[in-house]
Amino acid sequence: MELNEIWEHRIKDSGADFVYFVDITMLPADITEGCSCAVLFGKTLSREYISTLKAGQEPKRKEVFNTEHKMDALAVKLADWLETEGYKSIAKLKMGSLSHKTVALRAGLGFIGKNNLLVTSQYGCALMMGKVLTTAPFITMSEMPKEPQCGDCNICVDVCPNKALLGKTWSVTTTRDEIMVRKLCILCLKCMVWCPYTAEYIK
C-alpha cells in the first residue's frame, strides 16, 4: 500500500469521513514551518442533527462542538504518530495563519459561500475539519480555488437573525470582514442548516 493509502485508512479508522493530502509548498515558510503537505480531514454532521436544528428544536447533543473537539484531538494524535515515524508534524487547530478553509479550497473540496463557510457538493456546510502540517512524503494535490456557486441565492443572509452576513460573494482577495461582521454572529448555525447545499445533503 502507498503511504497515502495507509494513512488515509488510519485517519478514517480514527473517526474521519474524508482525508486529503494538500501541497502547501507555494505558501510562505512562516506559515508552513518547513512542511510540504497539509493533511486535511473532516467529519460530517449527522443528518438528524441538522434536521433537528432546521426544525427549530434544541438538539440533545452539542454535535458541532463535539465534532470540532474530536477533529482537534485527531490532529494532535496524527501529528504525534507522524512524529514517531520521523516526520516533523504540527497539529494546526482552527485558529491560526493557515485556515482549514484555505486548505480545503486547495483540496477542491468546495467553495466559500456568502455564509463564510466552506460549501461542498457532498455535505453542504455540514462538516467540521482538522489538519496537520507535515514533512512526510505524501503524494499531494493542489487545486485552484473553486468559484462560489451561490449565484442569486441569498438565503443565509436573509435567515441570519443578527444581520451578521453582508451578502458579499467571495473571491481570493476577499477578507472575512467583507463577508461578515464577526461580533454580530451568535453561532446559531441557521446559515449552515438553511443553505440549499446542506438541505440537499440531509435529503
- In the complex, the residues that contact ligand SF4 under the rule CB under 6 A are 113-115, 119, 150, 153-156, 160-162, 164-165, 180, 185-191, 195-197
Q: Which is nearer to ligand SF4, 91 or 191 (CB)?
A: 191
Q: Residue 120 CB, nearest distance to ligand SF4 (Å)?
A: 11
The amino acid sitting at 168 is K
Q: Which is nearer to ligand SF4, 50 or 165 (CB)?
A: 165
Q: Residue 98 CB, nearest distance to ligand SF4 (Å)?
A: 22
Q: Which is nearer to ligand SF4, 92 or 101 (CB)?
A: 101
Q: Residue 113 CB, nearest distance to ligand SF4 (Å)?
A: 2
Q: Residue 167 CB, nearest distance to ligand SF4 (Å)?
A: 8
Q: Which is nearer to ligand SF4, 91 or 179 (CB)?
A: 179
Residue nearest to ligand SF4 (CB): 113
Q: Which is nearer to ligand SF4, 104 or 119 (CB)?
A: 119
At 77, list the grid cell.
494524535
Residue 105 burial by Cβ neighbours in a 10 Å radius (0-12, 13-18, 19+): buried
Q: Residue 191 CB, nearest distance to ligand SF4 (Å)?
A: 3
